[in-house]
Amino acid sequence: MERAPVRTIVCRGMRRRCGRCGAKGIFRTYFQLYERCPRCGYKFEREEGFFTGVYLVNYSVTAFLLVVLIFAFLVVAVANDGDVSLVPWLSGGAGIAIFCPLLLYPFAKSTWAAIDLAARPLDPVEEAEAAQHDQRL
């Protein structure tokens, strides 16, 4: 299989698709990825502890959104001479901290698999395993 450009691989992952071939339907459930891509046979978890990076991606996006919320609060507070209620801002922050990781987890998981594929292309053994799995389907 021909290797796609890095940007294409990562964009596929960000859309919950296989980074290698772009196939949809790579999730068994909302939180659980299939072991291999149903179309090309790419094994998503290439080594033990592979998906630890998912937490990094998920945490980074959530932290970024919280920082944006804090800056928005500061802008509103300065514009209103500090006369701003904290309750809606704290509620918004709590909502981001709780729901963002849950909603973004599958996107983070497929994005991390794509980032890893872009950084470490498949070696010949992995290519052969993927091709063998693809032929069995």
Answer whether residue 69 is part of any domain. Answer: yes
The reply to whether 29 falls in a domain is yes
Question: What residues pair up with 36 in beta bridges, in sequence order?
Answer: 43
What is the tally of structural domains in the chain? 1
Give the pLDDT of residue 49. Answer: 82
Q: How far apart are CA 69 and CA 22, in angstroms?
A: 33
Structure confidence at residue 136 (pLDDT): 60
Domain assignment present for 67: yes
Compute mean pLDDT per 10 residues along the chain, 137 residues long, and list them.
Answer: 90 95 95 92 88 90 97 96 94 97 94 93 89 70
Q: What is the pLDDT of residue 137?
A: 54
pLDDT at residue 131, rounded to an integer: 86
What per-residue confidence (pLDDT) applies to 100? 96
Give the residue numbers spanning the domain of 106: 6-136
Q: Are 103 and 16 in contact (CB under 8 A)?
A: no
Which value, in Å, is the radius of gyration of the alpha carbons in the chain?
Answer: 19
1 located within any domain: no
Does any domain span residue 100? yes
Answer whether residue 101 is part of any domain.
Answer: yes
